Amino acid sequence: MHLTKEENEMLEGKLGYPAQKAMEILVGLGECYDAERMIPVTSVHLTGSSLTGAGKAGTDFIREMAEKGGKFVVLTHTNPLSIDPCSWKEIGMSPEYVQEQQKLTDAFSRMGAFLCNTCTPYQIGHVPLFGGHIAWGESSALTFANSVLGARTNREGGASGLAAALTGRTPAYGLHMDQNRYGNLEIAVTTELNALHDYGTLGYFAGKIAQDRIPVLTGLKGSLGWDELKFIGASVATSGSVSLFHVIGVTPEAQTKETAFGPNNRKKLETFEFGRRELAETESSISKAEGREIDFVVTGCPFVSIREFKKISGLLAGKRIKSGLEFWILSCQLMKTYAGKMGYLNPIEESGAKVICEVCPSSLPREFLKRRGHKTAATNSAKMAYYMAGSQNILSHYGSLERCVDAAIHGFWT
Ligand code: F3S
């Protein structure tokens, strides 16, 4: 790889041990992918901020980098934790575990991280520029950044993200390069999508087919906002390892079919229809729970926007959730503060639902919810249904927010 003078100095240890270790990681990664050079990045979104995400070895490495004076040289923000700093007691976490998480968070803080602990950093102002190179982890966030914002990032893991934050560099390969950003299959949408989770269902369908390719969605009607695109992105990156999708006429690199497919226009590309049948079949395939009784409802995967807060608040106003059942609304502190200012929190809290901040079931300790006695969940997020099964060993019903709220009130899925 060609390295600049400064990058070589980092590699030789002239800029300190953490920058040297970080550059070694990036050069190794770059060589694996035949990158010819490094590119400067303007921001990093770190996934190793939870104990479960970092693991024991990762936690030790992060703390070592902080102890040896590592400093983040670009804006670096953090993904959710393994605890809710405000209601850890209420949800039954041990003080020892909270302390362990705090040590990890302190290490990130010493290195200069922006501790927003959210999977939707773009909702609180961390919006990279179109065409800007970034190094983001968290599949839903990086897919949003690539697809909706037109920034450029690969799927960064804990180590490569940390290394990018310590050096301000990432190897030039994959989605940083123009030629790798064109669509290579079409998902033709022929049905109307009404609820937010329908967009998640579409994303799940597209991701399953695309796997590591770049799907181009055509035929979507109506005005799509960030929430709809957020739901597509989270699901497409769950059922496949998609990190970029295009929507014709909506996402910035897909104003026309020609720009979305680029040179691939000349090839014969596969097209898959997503109609009423596919919508219904995909929705029912995501819904894995049996029996109608529910004891846990979760929404906010990815973390809720202010628009979702408003909707949830309206649906819960004057209602009471069933005793013994938990309804978690996942958020970050900043969005919760805004929801409070807007008057959305009171109806939620009066109903007995909880706004849980900076943590989600997939970043909690494995089977934590199961050990608390939860058996069956309901969610409007395809990604959450997937992770509730994988990390909490709890199966979910999947459907609209209205159905989830109804399930929270009555204790069963209708
Ligand atoms: Fe966010 Fe957790 Fe979902 S990190 S995207 S709420 S699985």
Q: How far apart are CA 106 and CA 360, in angstroms?
A: 20
The count of other CB atoms within 10 Å of the CB of residue 351 is: 21
Q: What is the pLDDT of residue 223?
A: 83
Q: How far apart are CA 30 and CA 260, in angstroms?
A: 27
- Consecutive H or E run containing 209: helix 196-210
Residues with Cβ < 8 Å from 44, sequence gap 6 or more?
72, 74, 75, 76, 77, 134, 135, 136, 156, 161, 164, 165
Residues with Cβ < 8 Å from 320, sequence gap 6 or more?
351, 352, 409
| Residue located nearest, by CA, to atom 1 of ligand 1 | 302
Residues with Cβ < 8 Å from 270, sequence gap 6 or more?
185, 186
Mutate which of 136, 357, 362 to test ligand 1's pocket (most atoms within 8 Å of Cβ)?
A: 362
Number of C-alpha atoms within 13 angstroms, CB side, residue 85?
15
Q: Is the CB of 113 under 6 A from ligand 1?
A: no
Q: Is the CB of 356 under 6 A from ligand 1?
A: no
Tens-level pLDDT at each residue, the chain (414 residues): 999 999 999 999 999 999 999 999 999 999 999 999 999 999 999 999 999 999 999 999 999 999 999 999 999 999 999 999 998 999 899 999 999 999 999 999 999 999 999 999 999 999 999 999 999 999 999 999 999 999 999 999 999 999 999 999 999 999 999 999 999 999 999 999 999 999 999 999 999 999 999 999 999 988 899 999 999 999 999 999 999 999 999 999 999 999 999 999 888 899 999 999 999 999 999 999 999 999 999 999 999 999 999 999 999 999 999 999 999 999 999 999 999 999 999 999 999 999 999 999 999 999 999 999 999 999 999 999 999 999 999 999 999 999 999 999 999 999
Q: What is the pLDDT of residue 308?
A: 98
Q: What is the pLDDT of residue 268?
A: 86
- Domains contained in the chain, CATH given: 5-178 (3.30.499.10), 182-284 (3.40.1060), 287-410 (3.30.499.10)
From the CA of 140, how far away is ligand 1's center (Å)?
Answer: 8
Q: Is the CB of 261 under 6 A from ligand 1?
A: no
From the CA of 359, how far away is ligand 1's center (Å)?
Answer: 8
- Consecutive H or E run containing 354: strand 354-357
Q: What is the pLDDT of residue 377?
A: 98
Q: Are the CB atoms for 84 and 357 separated by under 8 Å?
A: yes
| Residue located nearest, by CA, to atom 3 of ligand 1 | 301
